[in-house]
Amino acid sequence: MISPQDLGSASPPPAFAGPTTTLDLDLIRKYSGPAPRYTSYPPATQFHAQFSTADIEAAIADDNGAEAGPISLYLHLPFCETLCWYCGCNTVITRQHGAADAYLDTLTRELDLTVARMERTRPVTQLHLGGGTPTFLNAEQLLRLSDLLKSRFVFAPDAEISAEIDPRRLTGEQVAALRSLGMNRASLGVQDTDERVQRAINRIQPQETNQRAVEWLRAAGVTSINLDLIYGLPLQTPTTFDRTLDDILALQPDRLSVFSYAHVPWMKPSQKIFEHRNQLPVPEGKLAMFALAHERLTQAGFLDVGLDHFARPGDELALALREGTLHRNFQGYTTRAGASLYSFGLSSISQTATTYRQNHKTLGAWRGALENDLFPVERFLRLTDEDVRRRELIMSLMCRRELNFADLNRRLGVDVATQYAPELASLVDLEADGLIETSPHGVKVTPRGSPLLRVVASRFDATFQAAARRHAQAV
Ligand code: SF4
């Protein structure tokens, strides 16, 4: 059995030097295709329904060991007043703000059910409020949430406390309430500042609204502001997106997330309207916008942290990238290591060193379970030792852009070069194209390969490779 403490231990800083990547669009075209985002390994698609309450209780009990690390908390607050037609999140659309009171009642039950089984002296080093729209909750409801959490957990003095904020639904009172909860980071959904694009996606958000939100947050003492953008939305072109980037840079964010629009109308029917209106950019246009964002942001001094994330050089995320201490969880890249993730609210995912569990995705199922004093869990996974080893390899590539064999051999207790010889041999095309460099000491992802981290990591993903083989046999 691999000890969680072994996996969480520090290792020497990697020889990572050049965070600014050079985009090679031909290579991106060549290797484009579905690959997991590796916010977990195995990915959430592998979680299953064959589990019992005893499995969940054992997962929490195992996590309470004498050397248990800190806690990271996530709360899913699903309400939104209106639906943005591109949205891929798990939301509940309503204008009835009383719904949030009933939600907090049920959330209290969930917290109490779990907290009763947890070692409560473990410090909380990270809290994230996600959604939906956390600022659907009014100031009073946010203060109630703050009391709920502070009365049940011990927060570390330097805890990172962040919230997703919809600038359209924000008041000065809400900012004050979030600050009293300790919020020191905010992530604002902007997506695009072009008026025609905003009409096409059903999200009207003037730049003045963004400016006002940023000013309020800065004045209240929020030290780090992230802005979310999406490329590939209806009616976007490189020209309109260039103007959006001007607007975004004028807001002087500390971090940026630049996401690719995911068109999945079979899962999100509201997206069908973009097809009916024939408004979506062609793939080459989307690629041009990705390249434009990368060029503009790196020229403006942001570091490409990986996947969709950019950060100012002095930001904690950029420092963690340089020092090799970056981590990855369901919220994306993070600087907080070794924490177990306890998540609450519908559809949220929790993680211990050797388990994952995901809550029910509908309000009715989530609430129904809790009214019967049952964990509102829909799917579960206990990792095998092999899963844990592969997760280490994949996260090393995703966060440190390397496999350091000596370090990994020590931590995993196997000879990586021997045990994973077939996977390492499968990297030959990536090396020929200059995406990686291999040596007897390990593998390094080059600046050319950085935009394709997921492709490199997927070579060590047993489930993804098995599916790819089945697909290849089928055609
Ligand atoms: S505000 Fe965010 S979560 Fe709500 S519908 Fe719009 S994109 Fe989705």
CATH number of the structural domain spanning residue 451: 1.10.10.920
Asked whether residue 4 falls in the same domain as residue 130, the answer is no
Ligand 1 center to 162 CA (angstroms): 17
Q: What is the pLDDT of residues 223-255, one digit of tens each?
A: 999 999 999 999 999 999 999 999 999 999 999
Q: What is the CATH number of the domain that holds 269?
A: 3.80.30.20
CA–CA distance, 455 with 430 (Å, rounded to integer): 9
Task: Give domain status of residue 140, yes or no.
Answer: yes
CA–CA distance, 209 with 167 (Å, rounded to integer): 6
Asked whether residue 26 falls in the same domain as residue 117, the answer is no
Torsion over CA: 299, 303, 43, 468 (sign): positive
Asked whether residue 190 falls in the same domain as residue 304, the answer is yes
- What integer pLDDT is reported at residue 473 of this predicted model? 54
**Counting atoms of ligand 1 from 1, which one is nearest the CA of 164?**
2
Ligand 1 center to 315 CA (angstroms): 27
- What integer pLDDT is reported at residue 336 of this predicted model? 76
Asked whether residue 81 falls in the same domain as residue 36, the answer is no
Pocket test for ligand 1, best of 92, 133, 268 (most atoms within 8 A of CB): 133
| Domain count within the chain | 2
Asked whether residue 234 falls in the same domain as residue 194, the answer is yes
Domain of residue 268 covers: 44-344
Task: Give domain status of residue 300, yes or no.
Answer: yes
Spell out, as residue ranges, where the chain has pLDDT lower than 50.
1-20, 474-475
Task: Give domain status of residue 228, yes or no.
Answer: yes
Asked whether residue 98 falls in the same domain as residue 19, the answer is no
Pocket of ligand 1 (CB under 6 A): 80, 83-84, 87, 89, 91, 131-133, 166, 189
Tell me the Ramachandran region of residue 300: left when phi exceeds 0, alpha when psi lies from -120 to 50, beta otherwise. alpha
- What integer pLDDT is reported at residue 4 of this predicted model? 34
- What integer pLDDT is reported at residue 469 of this predicted model? 66
CA–CA distance, 330 with 320 (Å, rounded to integer): 18
Could you tell me which of 128, 249, 102 has the C-alpha nearest to residue 190?
249
How many CB atoms within 10 Å of residue 11? 15
Ligand 1 center to 234 CA (angstroms): 16
Ligand 1 center to 137 CA (angstroms): 14
Asked whether residue 321 falls in the same domain as residue 406, the answer is no
Predicted TM-score (pTM) of the model is: 0.91
